[in-house]
């Protein structure tokens, strides 16, 4: 039995699509993206889910924070045993973390612990990195805990920043790093996990 992954996403879903493609085309023996969970009805990730025939679940703050047990039950109905955050901007509640211990991971577009925390996402991160004249940036893949961007690090990839790089150019370079590494790191984590329940 392969692992069944839920990808939580709030935006365009480019990382979500890379994960879907990777597990369909290169690692189907390990797992599949079985569900997209999204908190924005107009997010482009939903179009990507439809394109790949992946079911999706729209959630609101009440379901995530006040009816977390219902959300966990929905995930269990889909036989989800691993959760990947891909541009999901809401904090994960403790009950969900307890239901999936060491089975929720996130990717951050900087070298944590720097440039992390509430409000530090997307272009906010890249503008801060460029404004501070950093010589390098990168990505951090980490386990999720109750605090933004503070979970145990799993993987980092570094990227030198050339003189004159704009935040937009840095964003493109970081996206390329994310797309290259995130699916492979998730696959490696799944290969180390016990087999999913039938």
Q: Which residues carry out catalysis? A: 108
- Sheet strands side by side (includes 31-38): 56-58, 31-38, 3-9, 82-85, 104-108, 136-143, 153-160
Torsion angle of alpha carbons 69, 70, 76, 77, nearest 10°? Answer: 160
Q: Single out the residue of 16, 75, 25, 6 nearest to residue 44, CA to CA.
A: 16
* Diameter over CA atoms, the chain: 53
Q: Single out the residue of 122, 186, 120, 193 nearest to residue 155, CA to CA.
A: 186
Q: Single out the residue of 186, 182, 183 nearest to residue 174, CA to CA.
A: 182
Q: Single out the residue of 96, 140, 99, 101 nearest to residue 117, CA to CA.
A: 140
Distance CA 155, CA 139 (A): 8
Sign of the CA dihedral 84, 72, 103, 142? positive
């Amino acid at each position: 039995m392969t692992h069944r992954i839920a990808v939580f996403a709030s935006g365009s879903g480019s990382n979500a699509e890379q994960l879907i493609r990777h597990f369909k085309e290169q690692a189907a023996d390990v797992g599949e993206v079985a569900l997209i969970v999204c908190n924005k009805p107009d997010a482009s990730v939903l179009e990507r889910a439809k394109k790949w025939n992946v079911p999706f679940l729209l959630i609101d703050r009440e379901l995530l924070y006040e009816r977390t047990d219902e959300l966990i039950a929905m995930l269990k109905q889909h036989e989800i045993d691993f959760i990947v955050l891909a541009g999901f901007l809401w904090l994960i509640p403790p009950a969900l973390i307890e239901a999936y211990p060491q089975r929720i991971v996130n990717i951050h577009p900087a070298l944590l612990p720097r440039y992390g925390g509430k409000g530090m996402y997307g272009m906010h991160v890249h503008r801060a990195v460029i404004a501070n004249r950093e010589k390098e940036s990168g990505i951090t893949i980490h386990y999720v805990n109750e605090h933004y961007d503070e979970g145990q690090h799993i993987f980092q990839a570094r990227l030198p920043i050339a003189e004159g790089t704009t935040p937009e150019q840095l964003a493109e370079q970081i996206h390329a790093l994310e797309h290259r590494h995130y699916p492979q790191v998730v696959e490696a984590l799944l290969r180390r996990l016990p087999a999913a329940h039938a």
